[in-house]
Structure 1
């Protein structure tokens, strides 16, 4: 897409490319696992696959049901034969009885006490220490077996006490006892998530590869709102389990989305609104035909004079001063309805660019009140409603704008943009054509018409429109850049790069408003074409030297670093994108990548001996 939306289109294209080619990318990154791990796209893998886990990883003589992602096991239906070997969704149930036990402990595992009071007295510490090690081991196993029976009979407090006795009696730490007891705490009324976390942590301190307590602790963290810890544990669990358990995979996705949404909301509330990059602002203003400067009245007020200076600042691309002068002019008082409408419109535009939707809406409404025929404000108010997801109000504003001035070509162009975003390419093409028929000197109408034709599957007509546009606008980079994108989409990499180079050459002749998107596009093309990461990285960095806050360059470089297993640098770049993301949706998407990458980095640090497992998973995706 031409205009400011092209930034988002490029970011989407990077993401789509990586998603479509994740198998090759993950496989390529696997070689660097030892130093950085595999990227975020491992998290999107679904279904069984890859090497089978070793028995130690997934099968234990642990009778406590394996609550996948913390979901309690359902009560078994009566009449069904109880399984005594490997459960469908869980590990092997241990049913064997020890050869001998202490005289004070019953060996009848079927004897299920109704309460803790019905248990025999606990052994004193002196009694335990006086027992031979072999007898203590057998006694601990008996307590555990009895705890298993109580657990299956839903006597959770009694089961927890028996597991506690197993822990106390055992001569050496046993992770299974802590894991079983943690499962009991989930069914206390109310559930004791603090004890679940404590026991799972104890189990993992004994055996950090024990998946069951790792997953259970993740769920407890999630339930208690400790989403960062939950994401860390879910990430480790799915990787150690090689993504074989669907419930845990789904829990990871859910936790990641919840955490990203929470952080995005907190970030937007705490940070001050800020203008986006100069490239983005310039592209947004360029997507509208220029508005004539309102003439100063014969006896201008202070506000009239100040607003005239604001428009001079706008012409000089001094956007910060333009906003402050416009605000000051409105406070001082502007005398003419046209200048008032223009000033409120400009103020609303800057609010919209900063992501302050309520303030933008109020400013555009004030502009329309000052001069109802000022169609530009109707069009921009429609964009606000579109941002809010209110399609009906969006189209209503276009109707009001056309009622005020049916000969304004910008109305048709901008409405075409809405149709395009909604996937209504035929309607979009019709509006772009109307806009072009009314004013054929606006390059973006031609470009968007060609893009809509391409989306409709009429590639020949689209390419013809692009070639005509390049002839008619030889000193504008946009037709060359977007034609290059069309060629890139077709896999014609050589010709695409040539068009990006032509666009870059045109931009380099400018003294201001350098549009770096052709540079970013060329970098992406080099990566897709020749898997030339170094060239792609160099071009993105070149774009950032020109425009340090160019979101397309930052997002693209972050993705490239991620796929090249340079995860620390990718996290840093995603962090930069977080600081400049304009909308909550964009911020959410960026945070998903950043948080997931951070969690995987933590896995590599916590499980360095298991880094090769990521390579195995990557190979299984091929």
Structure 2
């Protein structure tokens, strides 16, 4: 069952854009248009590529630099407007000479020096070009001269000087697009991804948010930034269990263990005692219960391993194997790499089909669907009537888009375990995917009769109704789901109905109600990265970037994998950029102008 918020994440983000002048949107909607040519060149990128492919640049026989069209770059001492050093064949301009020039003469010299520098640049003689651009700057401080020299430094991989020159150019002309883009590229090369993203944002703002030329550059920068943060910051976080609602949905499709759960029937402090204690905590379906179960499972395994060589240990192997299986499940939920080892150990001790199912899910989580299929096949071969197999098998097929096989597996899961509410819901969702709307609604109503206290059913029915445009009834179903969740023990779906309802508030521009309901959601399910991320987006809407940053940072810490975290990092970056735009007087003023133009266009439409 695909998450409603995941399905609508783009819509949520786009809604957030409008309140902040699409700053967050710049993160997602840019295209690349990078160029290393000197800044006053008027040639198109396509013509440059054709020219580069047609002719290579090199040296002439006499050692002078050859330009792209084959002409020689050399100084004409007689006709040059500025003095030339006979020995070096380079400009001979000193402060004393400049002090005797008029402003008009300085301007003429600067232009001539720049033009000659361009010739050397085109010939890839960057060091010589730098000399000419530097002399031009001695004559006149001009943003183009700084920009051209920065292009030389960039080509030479002298990134520190490239940053200095692009910055100097932007101090003169803040909306100088070529330098904004070049400095973004330089920052990217230096690993200063936040600065690169800010420059790309500024580029878009100065372009009235209409220029999408650096879209792919931004996407790449944010991906590199996310990889860096995942490695340097988030890879060192302690591995913890996800929210109880996530664990509940994972374990809820398995049949409850057919074991005696009365602790009085087990020797205190034994491995079996700790396992049964863990199962009792699991069935509470709360954050605290799952945390307790995690600790108890560790104690159970320790006791079994301590007694491994004891000849007096009469513990049923089935009990020991189940302890290892659950240890593997909890390790998997915490993303430990050794999860598979625990489950394989369980198989060695006392195999059962469910263990192969868990191995299949571990493989599917890593994208290895071939191995997952093999493990499901082993489970079926062991016991084709095991009710724990088919729901999860159907989930994998659902994820890869094979609805026919998904449906057949969900039907078998429902037949073998009629109490599996998720099988009923998934079958209704697949029916909806087949555009059989009335049949889908009938299936949901039948499920309501069978599971009148299940908050899952009205929640996912609400998703279906929202998708088909019935907003009023979708809202009612989310409210029913919320009330049912509040009324029953456990945390079946946690804050999901509230998060879903928040999307409706966003669509109706009721942002204050959206904020209120999401603040409630994070209190109910403080481990939900979706709740924190959604609240962060709303804080951006409400002009609260500091609050947004706090939410996105919490969401980043809660994300289960580095890949899941990438989009949240992009949102975190958008909030930080928002703050920087506020602090930049020139850019913030331009942003206000763009927002005003956007609002006027919306009203006119």
TM-score, normalization by structure 1: 0.82
Query: Which position in structure 2 is the counterpart of 1:175?
Result: 143
Q: 1:380 aligns with which of 358, 370, 378?
A: 358
Q: How does 1:475-490 map to 2 (within 5 A)?
A: 475-490=453-468
How much does 1:563 deviate? 4.5
The change in CA–CA distance for 1:234 and 1:418 in structure 2 (over 3 A counts) is: same
Cα shift at 1:412: 0.8
The corresponding residue for 1:302 is 270
The answer to whether the aligner puts 1:12 opposite 2:19 as a matched pair is no
| Aligned counterpart for 2:110 among listed residues 137, 140, 148 | 140
1:451 equivalent to 2:424? Answer no
- What secondary structure, in the 3-state scheme, does the structure 2 residue paired with 1:409 have? coil
Matches within 5 A, 1:199-214: 199-214=165-180
Q: Secondary structure at the match of 1:386?
A: helix
- Compared CA separation, residues 521 and 63, structure 1 to 2 (3 A): closer
Indicate how the Cα distance of structure 1 residues 306 and 550 shifts in structure 2: closer, same or farther if over 3 A, else same. same
Alignment of 1:184-583 (within 5 A): 184-188=152-156, 191-242=157-208, 247-293=213-259, 302-316=270-284, 317=286, 318-333=289-304, 335-356=315-336, 358-372=337-351, 374-513=352-491, 515-528=494-507, 530-583=508-561
Gapped runs of 5+ residues in structure 1? 30-35, 49-60, 80-102
What is the RMSD computed on CA atoms of the aligned residues?
A: 3.3
Cα deviation, 1:542-601, whole Å, max 9, x if unaligned, reads: 222222222332232233334555444333221111111112221112112212332344
Q: CA deviation at 1:248?
A: 2.4
Matching of residues 77-116 of structure 1 within 5 Å? 106-107=79-80
Check whether the contact 1:520–1:556 (CA below 8 A) recurs between aligned residues.
yes
Stretch moving more, 507-516 or 486-495: 507-516
Counterpart Cα distance in 1 of 2:408 and 2:524: 37
Q: Which structure has more RCO (C-alpha within 8 Å, separation ≥ 6)? A: 1
- Quote how far apart the aligned CAs of 1:167 are: 1.4
CA offsets per residue over residues 435-481 of structure 1, 9 Å max, x none?
A: 11122122111111111111122222211111101011112221121
Once residues 572 and 557 of structure 2 are traced to their aligned partners in structure 1, the CA distance between those partners, rounded to angstroms, is: 12
Distance 2:379 2:39 in 1: 70
Question: Alpha carbons of 1:213 and 1:73: their partners in 2 closer, same or farther (altered >3 Å)?
Answer: farther
Offset at residue 197 of structure 1 (A) = 1.5
Task: Indicate the residue corresponding to 1:93 in structure 2.
Answer: none
Q: Matches of 2:24 and 2:543 in 1, distance apart?
A: 10
The question of whether the paired residues in 2 share the 8 Å contact of 1:141 and 1:166 is answered with yes
Q: Is the 8 A contact 1:382 1:393 kept in 2?
A: yes
- Confirm or deny: 8 A CA contact 2:267 2:273 kept in the other structure: no
**Cα pair distance change 1:526/1:183, threshold 3 Å:** closer
Q: 5+ residue gaps in structure 2?
A: 33-37, 56-75, 308-314
CA apart distance, 1:39: 4.0
Contact 1:64–1:180 (8 Å) recurs in 2 = no
Quote the Cα distance in structure 1 between the aligned partners of 2:596 and 2:27.
14
Give me the whole-angstrom Cα distance separating, in 1, the residues matched to 2:519 and 2:557.
18
Cα distance, 1:495 vs structure 2: 1.2
1:507-553 C-alpha deviation (Å, 9 max, x unpaired): 2222443632222222223333x332222221121222222222332
Deviation at 1:161, TM superposition (A): 0.4
> Against the structure 1 CA distance between its residues 116 and 230, is the aligned structure 2 distance closer, same or farther, given a 3 Å change threshold?
farther
Q: 1:512 to 1:43 in 2, by over 3 A?
A: closer
Show CA shifts across 1:124-161 (max 9, x none).
32232233333223222222222223323433222210
Structure 1 residues 304 and 116: CA distance shift in structure 2, 3 A? farther
CA distance in 2, matches of 1:247, 1:342: 56
